[in-house]
Amino acid sequence: MDHITFLVAVVIVTALAFDFTNGFHDTANAMATSIATGALKPKTAVLISGALNIVGAFLSTEVAKTISGGIVDDTLVTPGMIFAGLVGAILWNLLTWLLGLPSSSSHALFGGLIGAVWVGAGSNGVHFDKVVEKILIPAVASPLVAGIAALLATYLAYRITARARKDSVTKGFRLGQIASASLVSLAHGTNDAQKTMGVITLTLISVGALGHDAGPPVWVIASAGLAIGLGTYIGGWRIIRTMGKGLTDIQSPQGFAAEAASTTVILTSAHLGFALSTTQVCSGGILGAGLGRRLAEVRWGTAGRMVIAWLVTLPAAAAVGGLSATVVKHGGNLGTALIALIAAAVAGFIVIASRRNPVHADNVNETHEVTIRGGASTDVRTAA
Amino acid sequence: MSLDWNALGEVFAVSVGVTVGVVVVFALGVLGIAQVETAREQDGGTHALGFAQAGLCFLACAAVVAYGIYLIVPQFH
């Protein structure tokens, strides 16, 4: 294990940390609507989702051949830049979690890498046409497609079952939601865990610890799968609340339609080689389902804040990634350790800030807002 | 920079078509179940048509789910 230098070890740990945040940031994608409609108990939902993410990680053999899918010039990427990019992605994921905003973990990772490569190797290391093709266009198109599909499906589902017994309908669609939510989780595990495996594997290849074209060693698959599964199980409850309750009031037929739309869009796009963000697809599906039921309230304020977060994700992660890359580039191992310490401190601060008004399995469905300051709701709880 | 309108159109058409199809078929299945439950409560009888409708619809949905799993798991293809 001579090849495993300090820097490589730090990159691996950071990559697993990112994988963990990716998991808990994205629990909401699969499970938010099932939790909101009561199809699954909150704890059961995250357990199923976590387990399926681990299964998905082991199932996916085709590990990403490139770290970024061509968005940056992979030949110029050094372990230091990967580390800096991951730091940018992790911090952005934590900040959006604190605010309860569903934003794309993949965009955060790409953003962090773009910033780090730009600083580390110059702007010619970043392929801006690919950024438009792989990030911008899918980011606009995929939520729209999922939204339109979910809107039509919701409208028809309510039309068809309009005169049927309400309790039978609710129960039937709840059962359907369990299947559709599980599919989203499985698809997520096969896609997102392999991103981290790709990062670790390519880092090991770049320092000569693995041969060219080597697949990920078993310990990489196992640790990446466990990290994302554990993150999913811990559950990003703040984001689950926003997606399940915040965007619109979801009933079980809507939840089923939204999840069916998300699953279909994710699978069709993957089949046709179209990159997209699971988070954005699922949010689009939920908004569409909100519009498809008459009298359902869609909270455009929350939706607007979410879209702003989508727009800011890439540049914000890029800024942090770029800043970290500067320190790593000039500071060497000392700089790397410094950035790792600062990142851990900021992460700790964000976690402490979240404690002031915590969202967890027991209160996730109580209101539709995620606030940072301790508000009236906590006072009522302690008084009651 | 060229936008692949064909791929985009294909994703759109397939996604909307499959989603609406699955949800409509599932809703018909739920409708069948609702009829069965209504009949059982009213006169203790069974609603054979509703039962058959629900069975067929849920079977069709299960087939789509199976195809979804097939698409997700690379070992299957």
Distance from CA of B13 to the nearest CA of A (A): 9
**Contact of A89 with A109, CB cutoff 8 Å:** yes
The single-letter code of the amino acid at A371 is: T
Q: Residue A189: give the domain boundaries.
A: 6-367
Give a yes or no: residue A382 inside a domain.
no
The two three-digit tokens of residue A178, written as one number = 């369990």
**Is the alpha carbon torsion for B67, B68, B69, B72 positive or negative?**
positive
The single-letter code of the amino acid at A108 is: A
Tell me the helix, strand and coil percentages in chain B, rounded to 5.
85, 0, 15
Query: Which of B1, B12, B19, B65 is best to mutate for the A interface (most A CBs within 10 A)?
Result: B19
How many Å apart are CA A141 and CA A129, to the nearest integer? 17
Residues in A touching B29 (Cβ below 8 Å): 172
A154-187 in b/e form (b: 16+ CB < 10 A) is: bbbbbebbeebbeebbbbbbbebbbbbbbbbbbb
Share of chain A above pLDDT 90, in %: 62
pLDDT digits (tens, 9 = 90+) for A188-234: 888 788 888 888 888 888 888 887 777 888 899 999 999 999 999 99
Which residue matches tokens 């968005």?
A: A71
Distance from CA of A363 to the nearest CA of B (A): 30
Q: Quick check: B72 and A153 CB within 8 A?
A: no
Distance from CA of B77 to the nearest CA of A (A): 12
Give a yes or no: residue A376 inside a domain.
no
Give a yes or no: residue A291 inside a domain.
yes
Residue A270 has pLDDT above 80, yes or no: no
| Residue B31 CB neighbours (<10 A) | 24
Residues in A touching B28 (Cβ below 8 Å): 160
Residues making up chain B, counted from first to last: 77
**Is the alpha carbon torsion for A65, A67, A69, A74 positive or negative?**
negative
Which A residues 129-168 touch B at CB under 8 Å? Answer: 129, 132-133, 137, 141, 145-146, 148-150, 152-154, 156-157, 160-161, 164-165, 168
pLDDT digits (tens, 9 = 90+) for A27-54: 999 999 999 999 999 999 999 999 999 9
Nearest CA in chain A to B18: A264
pTM for this entry? 0.90
Question: What ipTM does the predicted assembly reach?
Answer: 0.92
Residues in A touching B77 (Cβ below 8 Å): none
The single-letter code of the amino acid at B20 is: V
How many Å apart are CA A247 and CA A305, to the nearest integer? 10
The single-letter code of the amino acid at A287 is: L
**Contact of A278 with A26, CB cutoff 8 Å:** yes
Share of chain A above pLDDT 70, in %: 93
Distance from CA of B56 to the nearest CA of A (A): 15
CB of B59 within 8 Å of a chain A CB? The answer is no
- Residue A248 backbone dihedrals phi, psi, to 5 degrees: -165, 165
Give a yes or no: residue A379 inside a domain.
no
How many Å apart are CA A294 and CA A154, to the nearest integer? 10
Categorize the per-residue pLDDT at A285 as very low, low, confident or very high, splitting at 50, 70 and 90: very high
Give a yes or no: residue A256 inside a domain.
yes
How many Å apart are CA A232 and CA A340, to the nearest integer? 23
3-state secondary structure of A116: helix
Residues in A touching B12 (Cβ below 8 Å): 141, 145, 148
C-alpha closest to that of A33 among A139, A150, A148, A140:
A150
| Closest CB from A61, A156, A256 relative to B74 | A61
Distance from CA of B46 to the nearest CA of A (A): 15
Mean pLDDT (whole number) for A179-196: 87
Q: How many domains does chain A have?
A: 1
Residue B46 has pLDDT above 80, yes or no: no
Residues making up chain A, counted from first to last: 384
Which residue matches tokens 């078993």?
A: A218
The two three-digit tokens of residue A107, written as one number = 């965009």
In chain B, domain spans: 23-76
How many Å apart are CA B31 and CA B13, to the nearest integer? 27
Distance from CA of B73 to the nearest CA of A (A): 6
Nearest CA in chain A to B7: A272
Residues in B touching A173 (Cβ below 8 Å): 26, 30
Categorize the per-residue pLDDT at A4 as very low, low, confident or very high, splitting at 50, 70 and 90: confident
Q: Which residues contact A200 (CB under 8 A, 6 or more apart)?
A: A11, A12, A15, A16, A216, A220, A224
Mean pLDDT of chain A: 88
A-B contacts (CB, under 8 Å): 129
Categorize the per-residue pLDDT at A66 as very low, low, confident or very high, splitting at 50, 70 and 90: low
How many Å apart are CA A94 and CA A11, to the nearest integer? 18
Q: Quick check: A260 and B11 CB within 8 A?
A: no
How many Å apart are CA A92 and CA A109, to the nearest integer? 9
Compute the half-sphere exposure of residue A112: CA atoms within 13 Å on the CB side of its CA.
Answer: 26
Give the pLDDT score at A3.
Answer: 67
Give a yes or no: residue A378 inside a domain.
no
Q: Quick check: B24 and A269 CB within 8 A?
A: no
